[in-house]
Chain A
Amino acid sequence: MSLPPLPGQVAASHAGAAGRVWEWMDGWAGLAAWIDTDKLPTLVAIVVFGALMFVYQRRAKRGQEITIRRIAGLDAMDEAIGRATEMGRPVLYVPGIDEIKEIQTIYSMMILRHVARKTAEYGTDLIVPVRDSIVMTFAEEAVKGGCLDAGRPDAFVKDNIRYLSNEQFAYCAGVAGIMARERPAANIMLGMFFAESLILAETGFLSGAIQVAGTAKQHQLPFFVAACDYTIMGEEYFAVTAYLTREPNLLATIRAGDVIKIAAIVLLVLGIGLATVSAGEPGIQWVDVMRRSLGVSAGGGGDA
């Protein structure tokens, strides 16, 4: 990629229809004092996304079905719990190591409730090691709720929700100890992870357990994909939570996100087509008008 010139001047010739639209946009720029026209597209994006979320949330609340496709990671989780039941060994659930204010930890609690319902139904032990005392209280609530959902409140074992340590590597040593002593047949690791994800995945692999891991941030995903049997990647993490909880807010956000992505893909195909056609053409082309309508040519130091 050669280095496009620094913010140079627009080409002299404004010939053609595109040129006339370009000049009209120049005129328009100064008019609205109350808004910076370069940022108009961002305002449109925010308003459209907000409107979509609002519409879909109302529909979801009125019971209209928003179907989320079955996420492969969920099948892997159910298979792992099933195998643990067959072998009569516990399931280990690691809810990430971040505090409760991290959105992924809150969603991990919701998924934990679903897992707890399954293990209560199957009568399998569920061990939840945590790194933060506040997360421990939330985890207890989630597992208790799951056992109630399965109609077996007696299945809840308070001692299985264990606060190990709030120091990163000491927590890993604690989890490794549980893996060695109680030999869980399934390790489910969902939430926010940092550099220790590598150690947890390696220890889990060596203990012979089926491992399903998932996190929204992409930096730890390479180690999970390499060492675990199945990985729930990036936005799939939020989709799994929406699928399990059917919570209107979340369903609406995912549906709105899909619509925006479809629009982005259509825009991409159209824009790239135009750009390829007019690559190397001097003067203003329709693709430049399109770029400017996305507030790029001015803000992004672009050129004609």
Chain B
Amino acid sequence: MIALIAPLVQEAAPVVSAPFFSLDPSGTPDVLGAWLISLFTLSVFSFLYRDNPFYKLAEHFFVGLSTAYFTLQYYEEGVLQPIYEWIHAAHATPEGALVNLGGLPIEPSTAIALRVGAGVFGLMLLFRMIRPNSWAPRWPLAIMVGVYAALKMTGETQSKFVILLGEQFNKALYDPAALSWSEATRIEQTGLYFTFARLVFITGLICALGHFMFTLKRTKGLQAVSRIGVITLMITFGSMFGFTVLGRIALLIERVNDLDRYTAPAYSLAAVDASGSGGSLLLTPPLLLGALIVALLALGAIQRRRPATPPPAAAGPG
């Protein structure tokens, strides 16, 4: 096992010293942080063996922290700034000066009135906590639904329908000279390849659109169009499948890389002496915690297989 792990340690310059605790974001990662990261990462990976207290701890810590994290963001940027600080700033504008609202200069008093209105409607939303189906929270919700629906409808129809169609007629797409990019292979530069590629694109697009038509009579022609459309869609889903595999494995590799960083001597429990040696590998966060989790899970497994003897007071996990 050691032989396999040993090469992991041959970093370009092994980190020999790291602060125990430091808030500096761009400094060398601190030791306390290394222990926390290793504990959380290995606890989540332990779910692959089976659901166990380590995973439950990590999961509940995550739900609590992420809820609090997003709450703070939305409190600061969605409530504090647009209402409290905006009214504060509008209040402090000198006499006669105007406030800029989306490019339109307006009276500070109007600006304040508008945001007080927003605050009142926001409070009406809080009524849901007291009386869920009272009329008050419906007003702000209705405004929000109307604004989001209209925003999506206009923006997306423009860029994902009208312009997306219009861009298909750009002459540059049909000019073979538009083919040259620095490393195009010889075949890719030929006119034949270009025409074939454009034909594949156009037939695929038209047939895939044709497949998603449901109220036309199913003539022979439409069935053929639908067939080619399904083939195009299946290759599209195949490429999405390939990219999903790429993405998930990239994440796994990054986790391994992160743990590898904390196998450096500086993070080991055994102190690194002046000459830079010591800091044995086995006492570094990933390996020590990994061994601990495996041992406890193994203990639990053994206990489950021996039902006869009463489980000891400290029942194994799981």
A and B touch in the complex (CB under 8 A): yes
A: residues with CB less than 8 A from B are 1-4, 39, 41-42, 45-46, 66-69, 71, 167, 169, 173, 218-219, 221-223, 225-226, 233-236, 239, 242, 254-255, 258, 261-262, 264-265, 267-269, 271-272, 274-276, 278-281, 285, 287-288, 290-291, 294-296, 299-300, 302-304
Q: Is the CB of B212 within 8 A of A68?
A: no
A221, A222, A269 pick with most chain B CB within 10 angstroms: A222
How many whole Å from A244's CB to the nearest CB in chain B? 13
Contacts A222-B237, A225-B234, A272-B168 given; does A279 touch B175 at CB 8 Å = yes
Contacts A67-B215, A275-B173, A287-B169 given; does A45 touch B237 at CB 8 Å = no
Q: Is the CB of A294 within 8 A of B218?
A: no
A276 and B191 CA atoms in complex are apart in Å by 13
Number of residues from B at the complex interface, CB < 8 A: 48
Q: Is the CB of A2 within 8 A of B173?
A: no
Contacts A1-B181, A222-B241, A226-B241 given; does A68 touch B215 at CB 8 Å = yes
Chain B hits for A46, CB < 8 A: 153-154, 157
Q: Is the CB of A285 within 8 A of B214?
A: no
Q: Is the CB of B215 within 8 A of A255?
A: yes
A286 and B233 CA atoms in complex are apart in Å by 32
Q: Which of A41, A225, A234, A235 is close to B162, meaning CB atoms less than 8 Å apart?
A: A41
Q: Is the CB of B240 within 8 A of A280?
A: no
Chain B hits for A304, CB < 8 A: 171
Contact with A along B218-241 (1 / 0, CB 8 A): 100000000000000110111011
Q: Is the CB of B206 within 8 A of A274?
A: no
| B166 interfacial contact with A, CB 8 Å | yes
**Top 5 closest A-B pairs, CB basis?**
A294-B166, A296-B166, A271-B169, A279-B174, A222-B241
Q: Is the CB of A274 within 8 A of B169?
A: yes
7 A-B residue pairs with Cβ-Cβ distance under 8 Å, sorted by A, are A222-B241, A264-B209, A268-B168, A271-B166, A279-B174, A294-B162, A294-B163
Query: For residues 127 through 172 of chain B, which have their beta carbon under 8 Å from a beta carbon of chain A?
Result: 153-154, 157-158, 161-163, 165-172
| B178 interfacial contact with A, CB 8 Å | yes
Q: Which of B47, B173, B198, B209 is close to A265, meaning CB atoms less than 8 Å apart?
A: B209
Chain A hits for B238, CB < 8 A: 222
Residue of B nearest to A263 (CB): B165
A55 and B205 CA atoms in complex are apart in Å by 28
Chain A hits for B236, CB < 8 A: 218
A291 and B202 CA atoms in complex are apart in Å by 17
Chain B hits for A66, CB < 8 A: 215
Contact with A along B231-272 (1 / 0, CB 8 A): 001101110110010000000000000000000000000000
Q: Is the CB of A261 within 8 A of B209?
A: yes
Query: For residues 98 through 119 of chain B, which have their beta carbon under 8 Å from a beta carbon of chain A?
Result: none
Q: Is the CB of B157 within 8 A of A45?
A: yes
Residue of B nearest to A264 (CB): B165
Q: Is the CB of A278 within 8 A of B162?
A: no
Q: Is the CB of B237 within 8 A of A2?
A: no
Contacts A45-B157, A225-B237, A295-B158 given; does A271 touch B51 at CB 8 Å = no
Q: Is the CB of B179 within 8 A of A268?
A: no
Known contacts A68-B214, A258-B214, A280-B171; 6 further A-B pairs (Cβ under 8 A): A3-B181, A39-B158, A218-B240, A275-B168, A280-B175, A300-B167
